A = this chain, B = another copy of it.
């Protein structure tokens, strides 16, 4: 591919630097993250190719995913062959799928995310969500149902955590995502733009079918275990619950899926 021999030492400085991206501190310091496997790499190249720096590929994957490798080369992404051992160490997963990209962060400033809401859109605000799978699923639902953007507050899970990246199934690259702003500042910025704040809350007094979901609005979703902090709830325009047969039978990802689907239908986003 590049005329260089495949990377084969698991102890080289380069491998060490890539491997370090499995940890949040190194991701924050380097401003980079890992994108693992053919599906995620395909979405990265298709939607955020400018962020892709290097694509590491095993000999087997070079055969199997020749289309992706060719696309990467065409887009000016450096492609580097490496042994399956090296890729396994760098990816830090049990069954790496032979393709691993290093990409620069793709998040956007808060104001740009909120500007995408416009006159008709809706946005998702994750406040103190900690579980990677839940965060990933909510991002995926936001993407599926046509949300304008996702805002992940400070003190939430890192969206560049490999588990989040994997569970978004590419959605991380499909819509503007903003990270790192304290939740109260996010709410304030929404208010300043006339974005109505709807707290998703299992014990909310307003039932989902009774909420007017036309016009710009934000769904504020809290932590999977303890919900939204009282000061966040108090700062929202309504606390909205999904009517269910029994208490506590919806988890965060399920509630988010239902609420975002309702917004999608009401706003004609899809």
CB within 8 Å of B: which residues of A? 137, 140-141, 143-146, 169, 171, 174, 209, 242-246, 248-251, 253-254, 257-258, 261, 264-265, 269-270
| Contacting pair A249 B144 (CB below 8 A) | yes
| Contacting pair A145 B245 (CB below 8 A) | yes
**Which of chain B's residues have a CB closer than 8 A to the CB of A251?**
137, 140, 169
**Which of chain B's residues have a CB closer than 8 A to the CB of A269?**
245
The residue among A145, A169, A257, A269 with the most chain B CB atoms within 10 A of its own CB is: A257
Number of copies: 2
- Shortest C-beta distance, A214 to chain B (Å), equals 16
| 7 pairs from A and B in contact (CB 8 Å cutoff) | A140-B250, A140-B254, A141-B254, A143-B246, A145-B244, A209-B265, A257-B257
- Shortest C-beta distance, A27 to chain B (Å), equals 25
Q: Knowing A209-B265, A265-B209 are in contact, say whether A169-B248 is a contact too (CB < 8 A).
A: yes
Question: Which residue of chain B is the closest to A255 with respect to CB atoms?
Answer: B257
**Which of chain B's residues have a CB closer than 8 A to the CB of A242?**
261
Say which residue of B143, B171, B174, B245 sits within 8 Å of A144 (CB atoms).
B245
**Which of chain B's residues have a CB closer than 8 A to the CB of A145?**
244-245
Known: A141-B254, A144-B254; 11 extra A-B contacts, CB below 8 A, are A137-B251, A137-B254, A140-B249, A140-B251, A144-B245, A144-B250, A145-B245, A169-B251, A171-B249, A258-B261, A261-B261
